[in-house]
Each structure stands twice: as structure tokens, then as C-alpha cells.
Structure 1
Amino acid sequence: MDLELLTPEAWLAEQKRLIGFSIRFGDKRLAVSTIHALRKLDPALLEEGSNRPCGAVAVIAKHGSRIVGFGFAEAGGDAACMVVVHPEARSLGIGSALVQAMIQRLGRLSCNVATDNTASMALCFRLGMTAVSMHRGPTGKPTLRFERGITNDTARPRHPDFVPQ
């Protein structure tokens, strides 16, 4: 598996394909607002400047020329965050690799995961993300907000079963 951080040019070339991939393999779990943010993504946000970090990240996982995973986050995940892995490629560490690449590129990451999405919650906990709050998501489901940074990483759980209340 190879990971590729998309440049603005690569995003423009792959945008329709990746949005289609996300909708098709997102198991109807992606918020409409996330798909909207993906469609409206300003490609310039994918570029890292000399005095500023990039404002968004889009990363794909490929097996040969086939896309097996896609991750996207904007504004450190505050504006949008999603990870989609092809069903035939799940449980191979692709989601973990995508999230780690996103954290590395942005310096921090936050995401919202509905509590009935146990696979995504397990991924977040496995990567040392901390559940910092609970709220009602866009579909009305209880949703956890996860956070993790690479500097001053306070997102390390104190115990494998630790969840702040």
C-alpha cells in the first residue's frame, strides 16, 4: 500500500473520482456537510506555505493503481473530517495509516464519530485520540468528538479504557 498526499493539481484531477469513492464506500455514515466541504474544497488549502501550515489535507491509499482508501480533513478536522476504506481492504491498517498521515500533515486532528460507528471509534482510540466531548450529531445520534495533536500531545489515554466524562 502506498499513501499519496494530494497536491492542489492532483486534487483537481481526482476530485470527482474521490467524491464518488467516498459516497459509494462511506456506508452512508458521512455527514452531508462533510461531502459538501469536500465538493467546495479550495485546492490552495492543500498547499503548505513557508509561514503557515496547510489548511486541509487529502490523502489516498493505493494498492497498485487502485484506490483502497481516502482521508480528508479541513481546518484540523474542525470544518470537516472523514476516512473511507474500501470494504475489501478493511482491517489491513489502511484507516490507521490515513489518519496518521492526516495528523502528521496538519499537526492536529479532531473528528466526530457517531457512537454506533464502533469501527471508527476503535480506530480513534487505537491511534491515541481522546474523546473530549459528546453531542448530538447531524442525524441526531450521540456523537463523540475525538482530538489528537503531534506537539504537546495531551490526547494519550491514561488507561486503555479511559474516556473523559
Structure 2
Amino acid sequence: MEVELLTPDRWRTEKKRLIGFALRFGDKRLAIATIHALRKLDDSTLDSDASGVYTAVIAVAVHGSRIVGFGFAADGGEGGSLVVVHPDARGLGIGGKIVAAMIGRLGSITCNVAVDNTASMAICFKLGMKAVSMHRGPTGKPTLRFEKTADLGVPIKV
């Protein structure tokens, strides 16, 4: 299994397929606003600017030719973030590898995880993300806000 960070060209090719994957395997846990942000993503944000900074990332986990998971974050997660792993591939560390790749590309990330989503919270804690606040999410559930900044030169352990 390898994780690929998509270029604008690859995003244009895979956009419909990945959005369908998210809707099919997101277990109705994905915020509608995040799906809209993914649909409206300007593919140029997947390239770095003149100073080498990325404002968005899409990381796709592939096993053979099969997509087994993917993640998305825009504006460091402030503009939306999600991770979806195929049900047959859950529990194999794929979600953690996707998030680690996204942190590596963006340098830092924030995400919001409903407290009943223990699998996603486990990924965040395993990667050393810090829960910095709690609020009511879009569905009214208590939700933790997680943050992580990459330690330069130190690989993220998954």
C-alpha cells in the first residue's frame, strides 16, 4: 500500500471517483460543508506557491490499482478536512498514513472529530495531535478540535 499526494492533473482525473468513494464509504459521518469544499476545490491549490507553501492536499492510499482510502484538507484543515478508508481496509493503519502524509505536505493541520468517532480520534492521538477545544459539530454532537504541526526533520510515527 502506498500513499500518493495528488497533483492538480491527477485531481481532475480522480475527482468524481474520490467524491463517490467518500459518499459511499464515509458512513454518513462527513460534514456536508466538507463535501462541498472538496467539490469546489480549486485544483491549483494542490500545487505549492512561489515560496513552496501548499494550501490544500489530497492523499490517496492505493493497494495495487484499488483505492483503499483518501484524505483531503484545505487551508490547513480550516477549509475542510476528511479521511475515508474502505471498510475492508480499516484497522490496518491506512488512515494514520494518510493523515501523516497530509501533515507532511501542509506542515500543520487541524480537524474536527465527533466524540463518538473513536476510530478517527485514535488516529489523531496516535499521530500526536492535540485536542485543543470542544464544541458542537454540524450535527449537534460534541466535537473535538485537533491540531498538529510537523516537527521539521522528525518523521511522524504511524
Superposition TM-score, scaled by structure 1 size: 0.90
Q: Name the residue aligned to 2:10.
A: 10
Distance, in Å, in 2 between the alignment partners of 1:38 and 1:134 is 24
The Cα offsets for residues 14-66 of structure 1, whole Å up to 9 and x where unpaired, read as 00000000010000000000000000000000001231411100010000000
Distance, in Å, in 2 between the alignment partners of 1:96 and 1:117 is 15
Shift of 1:137: 0.3
Q: Name the residue aligned to 1:50.
A: 50
In structure 1, the gaps of 5 or more residues are: 153-165
Q: Name the residue aligned to 2:19.
A: 19
Task: Report % sequence identity.
Answer: 65
Q: Name the residue aligned to 2:155.
A: none
Q: Name the residue aligned to 1:133.
A: 133
Q: Which amino acid aligns with 2:66?
A: R
Give the 5 Å matches for 1:1-165: 1-151=1-151
Distance, in Å, in 2 between the alignment partners of 1:151 and 1:63 is 28
Distance, in Å, in 1 between the alignment partners of 2:60 and 2:74 is 15
Superposition TM-score, scaled by structure 2 size: 0.94
The Cα offsets for residues 117-147 of structure 1, whole Å up to 9 and x where unpaired, read as 0111111011100000000000000000000
Q: Which amino acid aligns with 2:80?
A: A
RMSD: 1.0
Distance, in Å, in 2 between the alignment partners of 1:81 and 1:105 is 14
The Cα offsets for residues 55-78 of structure 1, whole Å up to 9 and x where unpaired, read as 100010000000000000000001
Which segment drifts farther, 94-103 or 48-57? 48-57
Structure having the higher Rg: 1
